[in-house]
Amino acid sequence: MSIETFLLHPPVTQVFIIHGLHSSSHKKWFQWLSIEGLMKGIKFKAIELPDPDHPDPEAWREKIALEIGVVTKQIGIVGHSLGCSAALQYLDSLTNSDWKLGRMVLVAGFNEKFGKDPLIDNFVGEGVDLANIKEHVGGITVIRSDDDPSVPAELTDKLAIGLGVPPTVVPGQKHFADSDGVNKVPEVLEGLVK
């Protein structure tokens, strides 16, 4: 890596994980990611969001802002499911136009309503300006499975396209939930260190 590349895209050293609806910060693959990341010199913190069974976008944004503090090129964000929407809403709410985030990895994410659950649709609202967000993030990865029963593949694909990246499709992982038997997602770590 040249010094110019290092200065423009320094390695991520702190990653914040944002869980989704009816979830918590204790997912097995979050724990796996934290352990694997430590071996690469990355500290992870899974944010415990308030009332995950009845999410309030404002309360979640406030909690994320409190945990992250100042966004820098050395920070990464990993979102899962509704946590992707929460991450995007948080970034969209930043008022300093000069912010730069090192990396963002979104797993089974979406940026629009899809009528599956009123809680989700109310949380997502009208979505966010993806073009603005992608200009401020050093590297973006969007991951989905080929058999997700919870989030339609076309919504995650639209999210990826809106962020200017191809979707990474991981076969057979359903919604990347503990109940799906998912204990690790190497593609997330790859997205943070590439």
pLDDT in tens, 108-163: 999 999 998 999 999 999 999 999 999 999 999 999 999 999 999 999 999 999 99
Q: What percent of the chain has pLDDT over 70?
A: 95
H or E segment and range at residue 141: strand 137-145
pLDDT in tens, 82-116: 999 999 999 999 988 899 999 999 999 999 999 98
The pLDDT assigned to 145 comes to 99
Give the integer Cα–Cα distance in Å for 78 and 80: 7
Task: Indicate the number of domains in the chain.
Answer: 1
Give the integer Cα–Cα distance in Å for 119 and 179: 21
Q: Which domain range does residue 165 map to?
A: 3-193
pLDDT at 15 over 60: yes
CATH code for position 68: 3.40.50.1820
Q: What percent of the chain has pLDDT over 90?
A: 91
pTM of the model: 0.95
Please state whether 119 falls in left (phi above 0), alpha (psi between -120 and 50) or beta.
alpha
